[in-house]
Amino acid sequence: MSDLKAQVLDPSLTPFEQLCRLMAVLRSPEGCQWDRAQTHRSLLPYLIEEAYEVLEAVEAEDYPGLKEELGDLLCQIVFHTQLAQERGEFDINDSVRSIIDKLIRRHPHVFKNRAELDPDQVRDQWEKIKTELEEKKSVLSGLPRSMPALTMAYRIGEKAAGVGFDWGKSSDAFDKVIEELDEVREVLVSSDENRKARLGDEIGDLLFAVASVARLEGVDPEAALRRALAKFRQRFERMEAKLTSDGRRFDDYTLDEMEAVWQRIKRQPEN
């Protein structure tokens, strides 16, 4: 075993400590040129990719895969803290202490004034604490603008609900969906010169209202849309294989003929 490998696999270290040492070795002059060339910004695509791979493993209930993907995501976190440590800004222990302090502060019903709160009450308390302690300038602060829009719609609604600004029930939010549908229809039949911009605004309002209904019913709209897209893709590919099996092309079929095949495929069991 090489000296570097022995340093990393020191049995006196915990696996987490070994990972931190491994990253330090990879970033050292004796390490890897690729790892030494990375920056916080260059690592962002990998961080996002690993987060989505965790998401996919959870949705698939692939727990052996989840074990591996969480390790990959942890590697990205340790990589970022290693870069910060090299510049003398903070290290992984500072990050861990920060989240420990934050979690204790945001769970007073556990660590201060003991109380049995249901999940919704905990969520609402969490949002109030963040604003009361001025951790955030606004209730809606802390949501990255780069997050998927449906996820952001869900979280914005959740945060607003945390301070009491919410629909009374999902049926009220559904009434808003109907209202927004009518407004989309109104723009569609209009001849307004700003029709496209107005349509974009109204469709955005409609999607936000749909996300509110989903949230109030405990449905993640982002996950629901991904499932719908996966289902459509699977059915479309099966239709495509059926239509092109004899060497014909899409152009050789009418829309009614394609729709007939589509309906037959929809009635078949999903894989």
Burial of 76 (0-12, 13-18, 19+ CB in 10 A): middle
Per-residue pLDDT band for 135 (boundaries 50, 70, 90) equals low
In whole angstroms, give the CA distance from residue 212 to residue 214.
Answer: 5
CA separation for the pair 157, 167 (Å, rounded) = 9
Q: Is the confidence at residue 128, as pLDDT, over 90?
A: no
The pLDDT value recorded for residue 1 is 59
pLDDT range class, residue 27, cuts 50, 70, 90 = very high
Q: Tell me how far apart the terminal alpha carbons of the chain are, to the nearest angstrom.
A: 47
Rounded CA separation 49/85 (Å): 24
Q: Tell me how far apart the alpha carbons of residues 218 and 228 are, in angstroms, rounded to a whole number.
A: 17
Domains of the chain: 3-92 (1.10.287.1080), 138-219 (1.10.287.1080), 223-266 (no CATH)
Task: Tell if the pTM clears 0.85, that is, is over it.
Answer: no
Other Cβ atoms closer than 10 A to 221? 22
| Residue 136 binned pLDDT confidence (cut-offs 50, 70, 90) | low
Residue type (1 letter), 169: K
CB atoms within 10 A of CB 91: 15
Question: How is 22-38 classified by DSSP, letter by letter?
Answer: HHHHHHSTTS-HHHHH-
Counts for the chain of helices (H) and strands (E), in that order:
13, 0
pLDDT above 70 (res 129):
yes
Give Cα 141 to chain centroid, integer Å: 17
- Percent of the chain whose pLDDT exceeds 90: 58
- Per DSSP, 140 falls in state T
pLDDT of 43 strictly over 80: yes
Angle between helix 221-243 and helix 149-161 axes, rounded to 10 deg: 160
Q: What is the per-residue pLDDT for 271?
A: 61
